[in-house]
Amino acid sequence: MKKIHRVLALLLAALMALALMTTAFAAPTIDPGRKASLNIYKYDITKAGADGAWDAESYVSTGLHDDTVIDTLSPYAVQGVEFTYLRVADMVTHNEAGAVNVLYGFDSSNAVLSAIGLTAADAHKTEGSVSYYTSDMLNNKLSAALAANATDVKNALETAVKNGGVVMAETDAAGHTAASDMEQGLYLVVETRVPENVTSTCNPFFVSLPMTTIDGAAWNYDVTVYPKNQTGNPTLEKTVREGMGSTGKNNGSVSDITDGYAHTATASVGDTVEYQIISTLPTITSKSSALTAYTYVDTLSKGIRYHKNDVVIEFFSDAACTDKITAWDENSGKFTVAYDEDANTMTIAMTESGLAEINESATVYTNSVQRGYSDCTMRITYAAALTSDAQLGDKDNPNEVVLTWKRTNTAYSDTLSDCCHVYSYGIDVLKTFSDSKGNAQNVKFLLHNDTDDCYIVAEQKDGVYYAKGFTSKKADATTFVPNSSGHVIVKGLEDDAYSLTETATDKGYVLLKEDIKMVIKTTESGQCEKCSAQLLTASATVNDKDVTMTDSNAIVPLTVVNNPGFDLPKTGSYGTWMFTVGGVMLLGAAAFIVLRSRKHNQ
């Protein structure tokens, strides 16, 4: 009997020891009085992925601080991101029919429920106005809603957290932001403002504070998450072509609206030059990633002047600008244009109305993560005129545009710049006489553009002619007369073929038998440091022979020499006497013959 009691005692002791071991290894219960914290690190996953620094599939989120993640992604930190969190539900333990689990209780009027499609039928249980959901149901509904229509869901949840939510500090240079002293419960965290390079905000997410560690062994009151951002920037390109001028001259036929545009062009003074600025708009996925500013500052060189009141903005769904979405002019109210005469700049800024259409238009995308005019092509066109102040030769006339854009965090902006170049040239004709006695200012020339079959019209200032237009009528062409130094200097010509015709010379000198043929040619040489375009350098021929251009390949030099004509017999005292005597002798001979004839007949 004693032996049986001894065995029972040993069994009881073993059971008690086992019970103590089970208690020691069981997960601890939540400390209801303990506060929680949330740490967020924000990284540019687009660039990290492109650099091969990160593979999202290889990382499992644990809610714990991870030095490996921070060390790997710190070069890709995104500063200026704002998160807002909202406590949406209580966390309760539910015991039913011997089954114990954790539920999250939402008030039935909570906007989060409708935003992700949760209904009373999805609740694990409902008590009065409170519906209780499992974490599985919440996660699945949120994922399904974002997959079906991420844009609308993000917008709805952004609106929900702004009503009563807490705005966290912007992410710092390390991409980090944090909140502490937080009550326990279920929180919805939404990215509500972003800097200029963020194209897609991270998906809104639920986080339970505290949360069970991934090994299920403890509760984590200080949760760390590493949501990622997709990033991207717009593109920018400015190009130029010679366009239709006031005189009707056209630089070839243009079949497509973008044909003929390039980073370099040549033009004559008086020419109209047409500019286009093309920008691929950045991706917009929700109100948080919407654009709040999109502004161009365009600067022309001193020798080019804006026509004004002719800016047009077009939107296309393709980069080739063939599928037009819409077009705005200056009266549309979608943008403003301001000019600074002293700086020779033009500022084109989108208005609130224009930005709203860019951000919200449903013309292009339906049932898509992208919204508005995301990734569409914006094309701006305007015209200007080359003036007599234009630089000549390889110095060129550069023209720059700077694009500045902002998203919802207006403290952050970025810029892009691009430029194009307009070139112009001239000729310098020195008029001389072989005997050095003629008066050059009695000589006259016409200048014809053989490439475009038109005559040059110019105005003179301080002994220099500046081209200002063209005419098809010879009678309307400018007559070029050498200045007091014997030079005919014509500035502001493009790279074309020309004929110089001498129409009058000084008395006693012989006109040129044929026109002088001049050709100005350009070839690519060097590269622009700003736009990387190939720059131009000029060369020239006169009557098919190479000549060395002067002033940085700006001026074609040539000399026109007139020779005296052949001497004819002079009329005067001796010449007149000889003609008189000869005439009298002839008359006398005629009279003798007449008289002789009469006597013979008689």
pLDDT digit string (tens) for 376-393?
Answer: 999 999 999 999 999 999
DSSP 528: -
The average pLDDT across 373-378 equals: 96
What per-residue confidence (pLDDT) applies to 470? Answer: 87
In this prediction, residue 585 carries a pLDDT of 67
Task: Check whether 568 has a pLDDT greater than 70.
Answer: no
The three-class DSSP label of residue 255 is coil
pLDDT given for residue 16 in this prediction: 34
CA distances (Å), origin 389, targets 246, 383, 463: 19, 17, 15
Average pLDDT over residues 105-111: 88
Give the pLDDT band of residue 601 (cuts 50, 70, 90).
low
pLDDT band at 464 (very low <50, low <70, confident <90, very high): very high
Cβ atoms of 313 and 380 within 8 Å: the answer is: yes
CATH superfamily entry for domain 425-562: Immunoglobulins (2.60.40.10)
Mean pLDDT of the chain: 86
Cβ atoms within 10 A of the Cβ of 529, count?
7
What is the structure's pLDDT at 593? Answer: 65
**What's the pLDDT band for 22 if we cut at 50, 70, 90?**
very low
Tell the residue number behind the tokens 């009695």, with chain if given: 442
Measure the CA–CA gap between 75 and 449, rounded to whole angstroms: 59
Taking 70 as the threshold, does the pLDDT of residue 189 lie above it?
Answer: yes
Full DSSP string of 176-215 = EEEEEEEPSEEEEEEEEE--TTEEEPPPPEEEEESEE-TT
Indicate whether 301 pLDDT > 70. yes
pLDDT at 566: 65
Closest to 328 in 3D by CA, of 349, 298, 299? 349
If you ran DSSP here, which 8-state letter would residue 19 be given? H
Mean pLDDT of 98-121: 85
- Contacts (Cβ under 8 Å, ≥6 apart) of 87: 182, 183, 185, 186, 187
Mean pLDDT of 464-484: 93
Cα of 593 vs its chain's centroid, Å = 102
Tell me what the mean pLDDT of segment 303-316 comes to.
Answer: 96
More confident residue, 447 or 95: 447
237-421: which CATH architecture?
A: Sandwich (2.60)
Residues 577-582 have a mean pLDDT of 53
Q: Encode pLDDT of 405-451 as tens digits.
A: 999 999 999 999 999 999 999 999 999 999 999 999 999 999 999 99
Residue 353 is encoded by which pair of tokens? 């109305």
Reply yes or no on whether the pLDDT at 287 is more than 50: yes
215: pLDDT strictly greater than 60:
yes
* Rounded mean pLDDT, 504-521: 94
Give pLDDT tens digits for 538-563: 999 999 999 999 999 999 999 999 99
Query: Quick one: pLDDT at residue 25?
Result: 36
* Beta partners for residue 207, in sequence order: 187
Q: What is the pLDDT of residue 561?
A: 94
pLDDT of residue 578 exceeding 70, the answer is: no
Helices and strands (DSSP H and E) totals, the chain:
7, 37
What local confidence, expressed as pLDDT, does residue 326 receive?
A: 97
pLDDT computed for residue 12 by the predictor: 34
The residue ranking higher by pLDDT, 322 or 24, is: 322
pLDDT at 32: 87
Residue 19 clears pLDDT 50, i.e. is over it: no
Cβ pair 324, 393 in contact under 8 A: no
Which class in CATH covers the domain with range 24-231? mainly beta
